[in-house]
Each structure stands twice: as structure tokens, then as C-alpha cells.
Amino acid sequence: MAPDIELDPRYSTREIPGRCIKCLAEEQYLDCLRALLKGGSGGKELEETYEALVSLLKSPELQKLRDESERYLAEGRDVKVVL
């Protein structure tokens, strides 16, 4: 079973650029894909992580989740999404 995937979006400020859930998921997706193509260790877990990220990125619910997390960030709350 693949380990939990944690996405910690951050709100952008003038000094610090934030990252939305979609951007974080895409970044982890690309990292996972690179590791799979290199044939790194933990192949089964990497495959499961890859499949979970692809599923999230293709999901029609991603935009709703992104909007909701950005609303919470705008309210000053901490947001963490765990897959």
C-alpha cells in the first residue's frame, strides 16, 4: 500500500509565492514519474502513488477542492490534503 500523499497548499504573499493543490499534485506527479522511469526502488508503492495522483489530477472534483482550500487559506486557516 502506498504511503499517504500530503499536499500542503500555501497562500501567496508579496514575499512568498504560494502553491495551490493542483500545482503541488502536478509536482509530485512529475517527481513520481521520473522515479518510475529511472526504475527506482519501491516500484509498487511508486506505481500506486502515481495512480493516485493521476486520479486526483483527472478528477472533476479537483477544482472544487482547490477552490475550497483557497477559501480556507484566504481566511488564514492551515490546509492539508491527504490522499
The string of pLDDT tens digits covering residues 13-53 is 777 788 899 999 999 999 999 999 998 677 888 899 999 99
Query: Computed from CA positions of residues 7, 63, 12, 35, in that sequence, does the dihedral angle turn out positive or negative?
Result: positive
Question: Mean pLDDT over all residues of the chain?
Answer: 89
Q: Which amino acid is at 82?
A: V
Top-confidence residue, 58 or 12:
58
- Measured distance CA(49)–CA(2) in Å, rounded: 6
The span from the CA of 22 to the CA of 9, in Å, is 9
**pTM (2 d.p.):** 0.86
Cβ neighbours for 25, distance < 8 A, ≥ 6 positions apart: 7, 53, 56, 57, 62
Confidence of residue 2 (pLDDT cuts 50, 70, 90): low
User: What percent of the chain stands above pLDDT 70?
Assistant: 96
